[in-house]
Amino acid sequence: MADRYEKVSHFLYGGKCMSGGKAVSKKKMNKAEFREHCWGLAFVSPAFIGFLIFMAFPIAFAFFASLTKWNGMNSMTDNFVGLNNYIKLLGDDKFWKVLLNTVIYMIGIPIGMILGLVIAVGMNRKIKGIKFLRTLYYVPVVSSLVAVAILWMWVFNYDYGLLNSIVKMISGQHGPNWLGDEFWVKISMIIFMVWKGLGSSIILYLSGLQGIPRDYYEAAKIDGASGWNLFRDITVPLVSPVTFYLLITGLIGGFQVFVEVLVMVPSGGLNYSAATVVFYLYEKAFSSNQMGYGSAMAFILAIFIFIVTAINFKGQDKWVKTIE
C-alpha cells in the first residue's frame, strides 16, 4: 500500500528515489518485470491514446490561442501577442474577484462530503422502503437544470419565496435578498450546489461502505465501542479512499463551476458577486469575442487546479488509509 503513494511523491520530486526498495526507473528490468511493464502499458493504452487524439491537439491549439488576440474570426498567427494575455490577466481585478468567488464556493465540498457520508451510513441499513428513499435522494442529480433553477429561484425569491416566507413566519422580519445581495448570493449558490450534488456523494459513499467487512464492527462492538466510536475509528478511515476521490474531483470540478451560476444568476450577480472563473471565461470568449484572452484564463486556472491537486496527492499519505 505505502509504496504506491510514495511512488507518486517519488514522481513529483523529479525522480529522486524516496521510497525504499523499488527503484524501477533506475535499474534495467528483468524479463518478468519487462513483461509486466508491457502488459501494464497495454492496458492503459486506450485511455492514453484517447487522450492523445482528443485532448492533445485541442490543448495545444488552446494554448497557442492564448498567445494571440484571436477573436474567433481573425487569423491567429497574424495576431500573435506572446504572453500579453497572461500579463493582462494577472492585472485584471475582475479575474481575481471571480477566482475568490470560486474558492468561496468550495466550502460546499466538505459540507457535501460530511452530509453525504452521514446519510450514506443511514441508508446502509436494512430498512423497509430504504430502496425507494435512496432513489429519491438521487432526484436532484438527474433533474434537468432548467426546471430545477426555476424552482430554486422561487425558493430564494426576495418577496414571496419559500425561504423568506418561512423567515417572516418565524421572526416577523423580512428575509435577506438571497440572490440580489453580494454576500447572500454566495450562500444561496453553495446551498444550491450542495443540494444538487448530494446524491452522487451518497452513492459513492454507499459503494465505499460495502467494502468494510462487518467483522470489524462486530469486533469493536464486543470491545464496547459506541456508535460514534465505530463511525470515527472504523467508518471514516476506511472510506477515506472515497473521500479522497470526492475531494480531488470536487476540487477539480469546483474550480470549473459554471452552469449552475449561468442558470441561477445569469448576470453573474450584482458587481459580479456570484460569477466564477469559467463564467467570466465564457463571457470573455463568447460574448466579448476575446477567445485568446479566454484561453489564457483557462490555462491559468488549470495551473491553479494542478497545483492544488498535486498538493493533495502529496498529502494523502497522512490520512488516506486502506484495508490490509
Partner 1 sequence: MKMKKLGALALTTTLVFGSVLTGCGGKDKGTTADGKKNLSVFIFANDHESPIYKGMIEKYKEAHSDTIGNIDVQITTQEEYSKTLTGMMTAKELPDVFYVGPESVQQFVENGYIENIQPILTELGISTDDLVAQEALNSYRYDGSKVGTGDLYALPKDASVFAYAYNKDLFDKEGIPYPDPENPYTYDEFVEVCKQFTKDTDGDGEIDQWGCGLANQFMIQQYIWSNGATFLSDDYRTVTIDTPEFKEAFQKFIDLTLVHQVTPTVEQDVSLGVYQRWLAGQEAFYACGTWDVAAFMDKETFPFNWDLCGYPTLSTGKSMTWLGTVGFCVSASSPNKKEATELISYLCANEDGQKELSGIVGGQSIQLPNLKSLAEGEFLTAIEDGSLPFPESVDVFFSYLGGTGNYEGRFQETTYTPNAEWFDIFFKNVDNVKNGSMTVDDFIADVQPQMQESLDTAWESIE
Partner 2 sequence: MGSEIKSAKSKMIDRIVFVALSLGAVVMVFPLIYMVLSSFMTKNQILSADFSIIPNPWKFGKYSEVLAKPEFLRGLRNTLIVAAPVLLIGGFTSSLSAFSFSKLKFRGKNGIFLGLLATMMIPFAVVMIPQYVMFTKMGWTNSLLPLIIPGLFGNVSIIFFLRQNLTSVPDSIVEAAKLDGCGYFRMYYSIFLPLMKGALMTQLILWFMGIWNDYLAPTIFIQNEKWFTLQVVIRSFNSYYAVNSDYPLIMAASVLAILPTLLLFFFFQRYIIESLAVSGVKG
Binding site for partner 1 (CB under 8 A): 69, 71-75, 79, 157-160, 177, 179-180, 267-268, 270-272, 286-291
84 makes contact, choosing from partner 2, partner 1, none, with CB < 5 to 8 Å by partner type, with none
The 8-class DSSP code of residue 16 comes to: -
What's the number of CA atoms in the CB half-sphere (13 Å) around residue 139?
6
Smallest separation, CB 286 to partner 1 (Å): 6
324 contacts partner 2 (rule: CB under 8 A)? yes
Provide the total of helices (H) and of strands (E) in the chain, helices listed first.
Answer: 18, 0
135 contacts partner 2 (rule: CB under 8 A)? yes
89 makes contact, choosing from partner 2, partner 1, none, with CB < 5 to 8 Å by partner type, with none
* Measured distance CA(193)–CA(268) in Å, rounded: 16
Percent of the chain as helix, strand, coil, to the nearest 5: 70, 0, 30
Three cell numbers, residue 120 = 450514506
Cβ(312)–Cβ(9) under 8 Å?
no
β-bridge mates for residue 80, sequence order: 68
Identify the residue among 189, 261, 274, 291 touching partner 2 (CB under 8 A): 291
- Of the ranges 35-43, 80-88, 98-106, 173-181, which one interacts with partner 2 (CB under 8 A)? 35-43
- Phi and psi at residue 162, in whole multiples of 5°? -60, -50
Indicate if the alpha-carbon torsion angle 112, 113, 116, 122 is positive or negative.
negative
96 contacts partner 2 (rule: CB under 8 A)? no
Smallest separation, CB 3 to partner 2 (Å): 9
124 contacts partner 2 (rule: CB under 8 A)? yes
Smallest separation, CB 206 to partner 2 (Å): 6
272 makes contact, choosing from partner 2, partner 1, none, with CB < 5 to 8 Å by partner type, with partner 1
- Phi and psi at residue 80, in whole multiples of 5°? -70, 130
Lay out the site mask for partner 2 across 169-208 (x = CB under 8 A, - = otherwise).
Answer: --------------------------x--xxx--xx-xxx
